[in-house]
């Protein structure tokens, strides 16, 4: 569905969804920083119920995927193009064939 940007409500939704994508990116970065500092399998001593850093990273990646999905549903990004670029990256990351 293409999203109507030519009205104030549409612009508000666009801003919210894209801001949420950015917010979740920041939360993923925060979890990655914790992993660098404290390790993948450690948990915050005062918040053990919130899981290990690995589990918290998985949750934030899930949040990010949700907002990417919403952006696709609203026509703000095209998931097929996201998939295309993921495939391009996969090819770029493939090891060079031995000569
Ligand atoms: Mg989050």
DSSP 97: P
Question: Model confidence over 3-34: pLDDT tens digits?
Answer: 566 788 888 989 999 999 999 999 999 999 99
Structure-block tokens of residue 74: 């609203």
**Res 49 pLDDT > 80:** yes
Residue 73 domain-assigned? yes
Residue 99 domain-assigned? no
Rounded to the nearest whole angstrom, what is the distance from the C-alpha of residue 4 to the centroid of ligand 1?
A: 27
Residue 2 domain-assigned? no
Name the pTM for this structure.
0.85
Report the CATH number at residue 70. 1.10.287
Domain span at residue 34 reads 8-93
Ranking 29-33, 46-50, 54-58, 90-94 by mean pLDDT, the lowest is: 46-50
Structure-block tokens of residue 66: 């949700």
Rounded to the nearest whole angstrom, what is the distance from the C-alpha of residue 92 to the centroid of ligand 1?
A: 29
State the pLDDT at residue 8.
Answer: 84
Rounded to the nearest whole angstrom, what is the distance from the C-alpha of residue 81 to the centroid of ligand 1?
A: 24
Residue 3 domain-assigned? no
CA distances from 9 to 4, 12, 15, 90, 98 (A): 9, 5, 10, 38, 55
Looking at the structure of the chain, the number of domains it has is: 1
| Average pLDDT of the residues in 52-70 | 97
């Amino acid at each position: 569905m293409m999203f109507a940007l030519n009205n104030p409500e549409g612009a508000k939704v666009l801003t919210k969804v894209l801001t949420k994508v950015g917010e979740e990116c920041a939360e993923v970065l925060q979890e990655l920083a914790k992993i660098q500092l404290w390790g993948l399998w450690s948990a915050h001593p005062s918040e053990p119920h919130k899981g290990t850093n690995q589990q918290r990273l998985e949750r934030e990646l899930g949040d990010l995927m949700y907002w990417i999905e919403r952006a696709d549903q609203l026509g703000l990004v095209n998931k097929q193009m996201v998939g295309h670029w993921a495939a391009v990256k996969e090819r770029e990351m493939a090891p060079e064939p031995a000569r």
